[in-house]
Structures are given as C-alpha cells and as structure tokens.
Structure 1
Amino acid sequence: MTFGKYTSKSFKWLVENDVGYCKYIVDRHMKEMRHPEKRKTINETQGWHKSWEAEDSGLPKQDIKWLKEDEERGLFLKPRPFSDMYGRKRWRKVLKSEKMWFHPPEMPGVVDGSTVPVADSFFRHRVFFWRPVGVWRYSVRCTKPDCPAKDNPKAFLYRCGYGNTVRPICDINGWYFMLTEVLACDACRHLTLYYSLIFPHLNYCNIVWASTHPTYINKLLIIQKRFLRMISHANRYEPSAPLFINYSLLSINKINIFKTCLFMFKFKNYIQNLPSSFHNFFCVNSNIHSYATTKYFNLPFCRTWKHQSFITYRGPHLWNSLNKSLKSSPSLPIFKKHLKNFLIISSL
C-alpha cells in the first residue's frame, strides 16, 4: 500500500487484518471507473501566496477575485490538467510569464435595469508583480560583500518563491499594489546551512576542549572539510585551504585560536567584566621586572605538552605571538574583525 492509513503494508496483510477497509478501497475504485466524470479534482494556483489574502496586510478583497479568476487580466493562465504522484487528475493554474503589470477589468459603463454591478467593480487597483528573473530572464548577481561566489562569473541568483509582503504604492495616477518574487544565492544559502548544522557544534565551549591532542581534533576537522566540499560542490580530493578562504571560514583549530585570543583581549582591556576568579589567572611581565619587553604576558614554565595545552600557557603564548597592530585594536568588535581576517589568510 502506498496511500491511506495502512501505508507500507502489503495487500495480504490488509485482507487478513481489515477486510472492511479493503472492501471500501475496491468499491471506491469501481465507482470511479464507472463514472470518471465525477472523479474528484483539485485546483491549484501555483505561485499564489496565502498571506496576500490577509485582511490587514494583504490585497483588497475586490482585487483578489479578478487576480485569481480572470484569465485575460489576472495573474494566471488557463487551468491545465496534470497527474500527481498517485495518478489522480488535478488542475493547475500557472503564472503568466510575459508581463508584470496587471490592470483590473474596466468599470461598467451604461447600466440597464437587468444587471446591477457590484460596488467592488469601481474600487479595483492595478498590481505590479516585480519579477526580473521570472519575466525578463535577467541575470542578477548577489549583492552581499562577503558572498562566497562573488568572484564566480557564472554565479547568479535564482527564483526561490514569492514574497509574502504586499506593498501599497501611490504614484501620480493613484494607488497600486506591488508583489515581488524572492531571489536566493546558492552559495549564501549553503553558508547558512553550515552555520546552522556544523558551526554551533564546533563553536560551543571550543576554548575548553579544542586545545586537546590533534588525534581527537582531526576527526572533527575531517568532517568539517567534508561538509565544506559538499556545499561548494568540490571534488573530494580538492584542497580545503582555498575553500576556507573563499567562504571566509575558520577551521576548528583556528576557531580555538580565535576564542583564546578573544579571551586574552578581554582579560587585558575588560578585566572588570570578567568573573573575579579570572582576575589572577595570568601574570603580566610588568609585575615581575621593570625592563622593557615586547611580551605583555609572562609564560609559565611547562615541561610537557599536556600542560602547554592549558589556557594558562596557551593564552599568553598566542597573545604574545600576535602582531602589534592587532593587540592595539581600540575596541572588541574591531579586534574580532581584524583577528578573523588574519586567521583566514594565515597558515597556522
């Protein structure tokens, strides 16, 4: 069975467990075969947004009817039959693809006594459906400055549904309403997918656990590279370093460096905002000796690699290795921006 409440069950199981339902299906099928003209059909208006019918923010009621039903002036062509995945006959209305301005039917002129026009026919409005890709077939580039496909000459926006906002606009000829199609960037949507599914797991408490031995981190790094190749449609053997640069992403190791340096910047400049347990976490060289040095923090003695992975050693070591322009950033947002750009192009 591929439909109904017993989906995925065999016909033999249906006969053995629910004969009444089996008889109902057979009788209904025989009835549809004897009277095919009474077979239920479902009309669909492909492209129509339900929010356009909202009372407070949608189209006026007098405009909804002619936009959906008027084949000459409305949004849709004549209904076309098609078969769905179950073989049932359906009727579908498709949007017109040759114009963007839609004018309402003309107001009635001379009125005789037999037919009285409804009041709605005098208060209809024009509708402008902005569809540069759907109608003009125009090639639109992504306008985001950090788009991963900004250097790809063949990367264009594609249609991704229609906007749910109806915009009333007033010009010199009166009011009209504007509908729009939604354009999406394939590369930016894949980047959103990465930040939704992968990045939260790599970023959560990264400063605590990501400084462990590379044997454990490399397993997560392989998964991160695999997902990055998947969203960029790259070959499995293609180097991942150019992909990280193209998408402006940090590997799991660089995320740990970023988080650690961020904590050190807060300790140096905003120590009053940190919990009191961190106030004596690091030692400053100026408190030990008075001669000039380029290293702000004092490195504690650590003989083993395990102790060198602690933040008490790793934090001062990373901070002292940063260049002077980064460490002298005037604010936290500027420091984060410059540090991320530095880590993206660096080979740490």
Structure 2
Amino acid sequence: MNAPAALFRPTRLGDLALPNRMVMAPMSRARADADGTPGPLMANYYAQRASAGLIVAEGTHPVAAGAIGPGAPGLFTDAHQDGWARVADGVHAAGGHLFLQLMHAGRLAHPDFLPEGTPPAAPSAVAADTLVHTSAGRMPAVTPTALTDTAIQELIDAFVHSACRAVAAGLDGVEIHAANGYLLHQFLAENTNLRTDRWGGDTEGRIRLTTAITKAVADTIGPHRVGVRISPSNPFGDLTETDPHTTYTALLRTLAPLRIAYLHHGETGTPLDTAVRELWPTALMITPLPAHRDKPQAAAHSLEHGADLVSFGRDFLANPDLVTRCRIGAPLNPARPTGFYGGGAHGYTDYPALGRPA
C-alpha cells in the first residue's frame, strides 16, 4: 500500500499535535464485558494501534437503552469510566491520542439485550426493515417507542454526562455519532422522523437534536474536545434521505459557529461530498468511499480536495502497525471476518506486526 506522503505530515487537531493524518475509524468489536465495561483485552487492542495520528474508539452508548448489541461498551457508570481510563492510559503510554465515539442505536437496538426487554427508542414508532444484532443472532428489528420531549431532554443530558466521564477518564475528546443509521441519523432522515413537534416536521426540526447535543457537549467539555460524524445519504438501517443537500447544508451551517475540533464525513458518492469542505471551518476528517476503491488513491484524493485527516477502518483492524506499513509500502494483513464481532483475542489482538509471527 503506497500511501501519499501527505498522510505522514504532522497536523493539529484542537489542542492536540498529531504525528500523522491517519485516523483509526470507530469500529464496533463487541468485546466489552456483559455490563458494557471495557476490559484489559480492549485496552491492549487500542494500545497496539497507538501509532495512528488519532484513534476514534468504537461507538459507546451514554444510556443503557442506546446499546447497539451484546458486547457494546457503555460510558455511564463508574465501572465504565474506570475501564475507559485503562484504555486511555494504554494508548497515551504508547504515544497515541484517543477520542471516543458516543452513539445511541435508536431503533436498531433490540429488546433481547435492553433493560427489562423494553422496546428501543427512536424519533417515531417506525420499525426498520432490517436485521439487528442480538445474543441469539441476527433478528428482525422491532417497532420502537417514540421519544417524548422529556426523554429527549434527558438524552441530551446523558450525552453531556458521558462526555464528562470521557474527559475524567483521560480521553482526549468525543465524537458525536450522527451517521450510519443510528439515533441521531434517524432524527435527520425523513422516513424515520415523522414528528410534528420541534424535533421534526421540517429541516430545522430534524437537525435540532444533533445540534443541541453537540452544543451542550462542546459548552461543557470545550469545543476542542468534540467532533461530529455524518454520512449523508447512507441507507444503512433502512434510512431514506430525500434531500440530503438541504438537510446537511443546514446542519453544517448551524454547527460551524461552534468551532468544534472536527467534522468526520463519510463519503457516499453524492454531489454533497464536494461541498462539505466549503461549509466546514475547522478540521475535516474523511472516510473515503467503500473498500473496492484503491485506498492510496482514495486517501490522496481526499487530501487533495481539502481533507485534513483520513480515516481507515478494517486496515487498522488487521494491521496494528498500519502507519509503518503504509509509510514503507509493506503488504497488509488481510482482515478475518470471523473475528469481527465478539469473542476473545482471536481476530482482535492477535494480528501480527511487521517482523512478528502470526
């Protein structure tokens, strides 16, 4: 993998001096304890990959009802905070930087693993036509309960409290997940947000929750510790966005004055991709289009078109020393799907670095 030289140039992100522009993307790995606490195996996994300019740790729920599935980590108890502190300590000891992605699964959660078997919560009571992860395997999504105004206010507070715990645990910041079909994306999309109150009804209403959470978190822990992830037109989770240009132009114009650390934009091949750089005033992190594209070419294209950082998913999953391999043009370990979700060290912490046997 002959990556462009620009990937290895230092840059700044908020108060952080990053040694390179390669970001380890957040990837669900389902290795937390049953109560959502990160254990030593997770700490080892992230420390192995600390040569990334920045690690964005996997989606982590701020409330029990926000879990995406069994083994997903949380950050709303003292035990969770202590677990993430061990992860942060390991990454920092290895010279790395670590943000944590805060996400709520919304209607993609399932009563199988939610407290007392309650239905998932969402903008509106509309079931996703998809399968979701459960302890018994993939099952059809169920009809969620529409969040009340009071519950939405409590959810904003929960994101703030989790962000405070992240900082207390020693993490460098948090990424608000408003992409990939999860709760905040469900509020943005027309087919999942059928509300007629201030949290829906029109573009201003549909973007309100993402902007409210981002502002509340930035006001509390500092904008330099906050990022937001978006993926316009991403249909994952049975989402449909009929006018993403209008929605995301409004969203970015509302978020821009907050001067948060970065925007994490997942490209989806729409004309909006080329407009994001013009709309966004601080660091722009790009996840290039899907894996079938030539990755060095995709990274070079992103940097040439205004990206400050480029995120890599499965390549970091399978190559703890991805930065070194890319710098010298060494071959990459292939990712093994059998270890993607759940289990132990196999397919997780046992990928070899250069010069080490498999």
TM-score (norm. length: structure 2):
0.23
Structure with a larger share of its residues in helix: 1
Name which structure has the greater RCO, CA cutoff 8 Å, separation 6+: 2
